Amino acid sequence: MGVFKRWRERGQRAKSYAQAERHIASGDLAAALAELLPLLDADAGDQVVALKVVEAYAELGEADSASERLADLIQADPRQVALINNASFDDIRATDAFAAVYESAVAVITAALEDNPDDAQARFLLAEHHEALGNTLVAHGEYALLRRDDDVSVRSRANYMDARLSATEGVVDNAATCLREAISENPSLAVAAQTDPAFDDLLASGAVGDMRELAAAAEEK
């Protein structure tokens, strides 16, 4: 009987999921949630269903519910931190509710770095999420660590990101210093900086100097 019961439950679960997919395809997200939420309650570890729930809430503009569910999903599986940049969340990413998602991301990335402190990509993500939370001093600290990396591409990117953060804060001296250092190690960043709105005021101030000359001098080294 136990085997037949499990088969029956799996069949019902598959049927409900298929019905939810049809509702999503037709744009009836409320009806889709009515099918999906009982499935998630029955199996909180079903990440496919969990993501469908989060995306449905986001599409409906329910920032609190979407953010809470996404934060839970990231805590359950740290690999899901990449979902933060999913286009589904564009409309809610700037809301106060989304802070819970960034906080979950910071927690799981920090834990991962304890085992692998040299993971530069994870550290860049950590700095990015601290920026989103307004923890700019912590973000500057992470970029400072990355600027000491053996890999020139990591160092130049860290200097660029630190310069960008300083520019948005209006800290001209540090922004100019970091940007010049970034360009000296990666001349192509001069082009990126000139098209980056975050540097508009900095470049207009003349504090960095002539970008083309900086890039040319760096390429001659």
> Residue 86's closest CA among 112, 114, 105, 106?
105
pLDDT at 1: 46
**198 pLDDT higher than 50:** yes
pLDDT of residue 8: 63
pLDDT for 29-68, tens place per residue? 999 999 999 998 888 888 899 999 999 999 999 999 999 9
| pTM (2 d.p.) | 0.83
Q: What is the pLDDT of residue 64?
A: 96
Residue 186 predicted with pLDDT over 70? yes
Question: Tell me: the pLDDT tens digits for 104-142?
Answer: 999 999 999 999 999 999 999 999 999 999 999 999 999
Question: Which of helix, strand or coil describes residue 171?
Answer: coil
Q: Is 93 helix (H, G, I), strand (E, B) or coil?
A: coil
Exposed/middle/buried for residue 30 (C-beta within 10 Å: 0-12, 13-18, 19+): exposed
Average pLDDT in the chain: 90
Could you tell me how far CA 53 lies from the centroid of its own chain? 19
Round to whole Å and give the CA distance between 16 and 35.
6
Give the per-residue pLDDT at 7.
60
SS3 104: helix
Residue 178, pLDDT score: 96
